[in-house]
Amino acid sequence: MSERFETMAVHAGYEPEPATGAVMPPVYQVSTFAQRSPGQGTGYEYARTDNPTRTPLQRALAELEGAEHALVFSSGLAATDAVLNTLKAGDHVLAGNDLYGGTYRLFSRVAVDRGLTFDFVDLQSCELEDAFRPNTRLVWFETPTNPLLNIIDIRRVAGIAHTHGALVAVDNTFMSPYFQNPLKLGADIVMHSMTKYLNGHSDVVMGCLMTSNDELYARLKFLQNAVGGVPGPWDCYLALRGIRTLALRMKAHGENAMAVANWLSQDRRIERVAYPGLAGHPGHDIAKRQASGFGGMVTFFVNGGLEDARRMLERVKLFTLAESLGGVESLIEHPAIMTHASIPPEQRAAIGISDTLVRASVGIEHPDDLIADLDQALG
């Protein structure tokens, strides 16, 4: 029987535990497992390699993303670094020029010391073909991008990359599997910072990778164990608990974000709104084609200067001024000072991260209350 996403989110990855009938997996707070004979165990040997609470979470993630395999890591950056560890010194990576600041820092200040080379390019450009080199092995990007919410055509980029023998990895954090499935559009790897929408309650830091490439999975599984950046069983339990309400939460996030974006776009105190759900967004048609919704993130530019943006952010009451996103509560932040401060100022300016740019993670509160909060904060 073919199940819809809402049903899969509730049931994916786990059947009631046969010994007790527990409808959620127990938290196996254990580091090692007894063996019947040397080398003959139950399938679990040491909790860095595998844990019975982690296993159903990975199965659930694979089901929801439409992948054959999923692996979880201690953070989204640990998952990203595992992908980089499949490469070798001298390999070249093409990355989107609008990235989460932590990803940019990992690429430009850590991975380069291991001999990898990077170019940060506009993946919407018609000249994308010219950016590839003979040693390009990976294309990494987000869509929608963070924080400008640009839309990258996954199918187009994957088609070009594959003709050059490069793998394609898509950071799908902003959309979650509910709205977008990059593997179905040609991507080879999907990454999520599970800290955000997948867990959804701002109480877990975790990342994951999904793929349907068996050879790539085997390499990533080896790296997950060999490097050891894995989450503990309690975090895995919490993340699986969060996934059970993913469909309900994402529907509310998307509806609320659309309401907030529409209101902001008509307010004279706002210079411009970037939300893919608005018909005037340059990536609106691509977003409609490759996703089933537009997500819960809204970026906007306040009229005035830095002090006007700062004053608005200091006055919010329902929105919480904080980094991160994807929780049930609404968050708001200033990328140039907060999440993207690790990107050099000249590069921020070049891609459009200005001092008046504000990024909002629209939660599941009543949209009228959120709009009223922004209204009073803008003054």
The secondary structure of 78-96 as a DSSP string is HHHHHHHTTS-TT-EEEEE
Length in residues, the chain: 379
CB 35 within 8 Å of CB 190 = no
Helix axes 76-84, 101-109, angle to 10 degrees: 40
Active site residues: 48, 100, 171, 196
Rounded Cα gap, residues 171 and 143, in angstroms: 7
In tens, the pLDDT along 33-56 reads 999 999 888 899 999 999 999 999
φ, ψ (nearest 5 deg) of residue 290: -105, 0
Helix axes 54-65, 233-243, angle to 10 degrees: 30
Whole-angstrom distance between the N-terminal and C-terminal Cα of the chain?
A: 54
How many other CB atoms sit within 10 Å of the CB of residue 115?
A: 11
In tens, the pLDDT along 177-225 reads 999 999 999 999 999 999 999 999 999 999 999 999 999 999 999 999 9
**b/e map 142-161, b = 16+ CB within 10 Å:** bbbbbbbbbbbbbebbbebb
One pLDDT digit (tens) per residue for the chain, 379 residues: 568 999 999 999 988 888 899 988 999 999 999 999 998 888 999 999 999 999 999 999 999 999 999 999 999 999 999 999 999 999 999 999 999 999 999 999 999 999 999 999 999 887 899 999 999 999 999 999 999 999 999 999 999 999 999 999 999 999 999 999 999 999 999 999 999 999 999 999 999 999 999 999 999 999 999 999 999 999 999 999 999 999 999 999 999 999 999 999 999 999 999 999 999 999 999 999 999 999 999 999 999 999 999 999 999 999 999 999 999 999 999 988 887 877 788 888 888 888 999 999 999 999 999 999 999 999 9
